[in-house]
Amino acid sequence: MSVLIAPSVLSLDYSDTASQLQQLNASGAEWMHYDVMDGNFVPNISFGPDILKAFCKASPLYKDVHLMVADPSYYADVFIKAGADLITFHYEALQEEEIRPLLEKIHAAGKKAGISIKPNTDVEVLVPYLNEVDLILIMSVEPGFGGQSFHPEAAGKIAQLRQMIDASGSHALIEVDGGINQETGRVCREAGVDVLVAGSYVFKGDIQKAVESLR
């Protein structure tokens, strides 16, 4: 199966938004990755719900919303109302007993639900949720800033997660985010990833060529 490409609009050139979105829409990418940072869970601030609403008007791409926030239960509602198709929250942001209720809430709203883990979090913590999530996002950099270099150990985590998912009968997709380019994308594809998130690599030059190179 071909991988899905999810360019991260965190790296969009906002001095040329209309042109960049036009190129993105025509690039062949299937998803738009939308990073939400609250300045609390991560030391940076990005987008609110009104920007997502604008992207929903400007682009038909599937809206892949990644919540890097301290209160994902509250913000899941906010971004579902703003037009998210998929809500991914961080395992590290919640107590264990809060995870399943949030997954259920997202699904009850008719949306897909995902869990993300930071580089230092073991994939084994996700075993209880493999058949309850639609996506697992492996962070291959520390969340919070674009333009970081890929952590090579992420490929091993993807391969381990691929085995876990296949053994469990789960249909969850594996997504990777951080330092993805043509070379690291190939490494992740070989490890078994389903969705590649790429930011600066896509938006720093020819958007369509960059997207094609990630295939």
Residues 6+ apart with CB under 8 A from 160: 123
Q: Provide the annotated active-site residues.
A: 35, 177
Query: What is the distance between the terminal CA atoms of the chain, rounded to a whole angstrom?
Result: 11
**For the chain, how are helix, strand and coil distributed in percent, rounded to 5?**
45, 20, 35
CA distance 22 to 109: 30
- Phi and psi at residue 39, in whole multiples of 5°? 70, 10
